[in-house]
């Protein structure tokens, strides 16, 4: 069902796309300085260190740790989807694609979210959900075509674009697992609304192993060394704090309160924020068709958030 938005929920759900836009720009800036899978590992290793004192209560007792270990399979899947695959694929995508392309592809998430919900969770979208997703897709196509839909046939996707599609599918499954957790995850683990730090700590503990495995494989096949500098350190700190902690906390609460389909519409604002950041940093400001696309995306959010009457 559609959900009614209030100011607090709107502000909360604006934080993830803002952080993700910055993450895309930073990820692109790190190309050639930090191998993408090692950047993902550094990001989550620092995030884990920050989370430990905040969420320690979730793993404090032997009974709690035993309960988590009993749920290791679904928790490992959740960690893979959220901490492992999504972020690793995104940083890999940014080695051959641009931040704007990556964020635009991410804006297709409502369609994937609704499709996965219908196929795997029995959640049939209503007419307004379908129309709002179509508005979001139209906004994406408008930007890709630069305001001329006849150009769509000439668009060429690079490998990074395909990787980003895989990342979005991973993220959608992750979001549905948050919204409709399997029976094994309904008890014995922290609730995001009650202990967000403990909830994210548990995910990170199970997900960082996947990040370490992928970074190790990257090193084995001959990835370049990290080119350490003050800028690289600042970038790692930002990725650990912004898109990891702030965005994940906000996204988890937003999904729980508004549902994954509506939350994914807010995620479509990421390209807008990325465009504004590029304008501020590079002087490349959004064009008229960007504003039209923004109107379509906001219209989709407004349509989906109207409370059903009767």
Residue 252 per-residue DSSP state: H
pLDDT value at position 117? 87
Question: Tokens representing 245?
Answer: 């902690």
pLDDT value at position 153? 67
pLDDT value at position 292? 80
80 and 210 Cβ atoms separated by less than 8 Å? yes
User: What parts of the chain have a pLDDT lower than 70?
Assistant: 1-5, 140, 143-144, 146, 149-157, 192-193, 261, 264, 281-286, 301-302, 304-310
With residues binned 3-state (H G I as helix, E B as strand, rest as coil), the percentages for the chain, rounded to 5, are: 75, 0, 25
208-224 per-position pLDDT tens digit = 999 999 999 999 988 88
- Its pTM stands at 0.81
pLDDT value at position 45? 96
Residue 250: partners with Cβ closer than 8 Å, 6 or more residues away: 12, 13, 15, 16
pLDDT value at position 309? 39
Q: How many Å from the N-terminal Cα to the C-terminal Cα in the chain? A: 13
Can you tell me the distance from the alpha carbon of 263 to that of 279, in angstroms, rounded to the nearest whole number? 26
């Amino acid at each position: 069902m559609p959900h009614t938005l209030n100011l607090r929920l709107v502000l909360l759900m604006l934080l993830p796309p803002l952080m993700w836009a910055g993450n895309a720009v930073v990820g692109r800036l790190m190309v050639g300085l930090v191998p993408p899978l090692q950047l993902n590992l550094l990001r989550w290793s620092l995030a884990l260190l920050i989370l430990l004192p905040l969420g320690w209560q979730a793993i404090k007792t032997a009974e709690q740790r035993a309960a988590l270990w009993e749920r290791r399979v679904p928790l490992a899947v959740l960690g893979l989807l959220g901490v492992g695959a999504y972020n690793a694929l995104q940083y890999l995508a940014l080695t051959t694609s641009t931040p704007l392309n990556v964020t635009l592809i991410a804006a297709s998430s409502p369609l994937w979210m609704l499709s996965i919900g219908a196929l795997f969770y029995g959640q049939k979208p209503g007419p307004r959900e379908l129309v709002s997703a179509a508005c979001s897709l139209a906004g994406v196509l408008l930007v890709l075509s630069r305001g001329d839909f006849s150009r769509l046939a000439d668009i060429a996707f690079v490998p990074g674009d395909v990787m980003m599609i895989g990342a979005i599918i991973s993220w959608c499954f992750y979001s549905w697992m948050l919204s409709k957790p399997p029976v094994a995850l309904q008890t014995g683990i922290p609730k995001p609304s009650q202990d967000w730090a403990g909830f994210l700590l548990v995910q990170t503990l199970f997900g960082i192993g996947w990040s370490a495995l992928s970074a190790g494989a990257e090193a084995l096949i001959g990835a370049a060394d990290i080119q350490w500098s003050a800028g690289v350190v600042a970038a790692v700190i930002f990725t650990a704090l912004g898109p990891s902690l702030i965005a994940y906390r906000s996204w988890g609460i937003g999904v729980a309160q508004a549902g994954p389909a509506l939350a994914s519409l807010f995620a479509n604002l990421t390209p807008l924020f990325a465009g504004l950041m590029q304008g501020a940093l590079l002087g490349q400001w959004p064009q008229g068709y960007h504003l039209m696309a923004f109107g379509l995306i906001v219209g989709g959010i407004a349509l989906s958030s109207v409370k059903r009457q009767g």
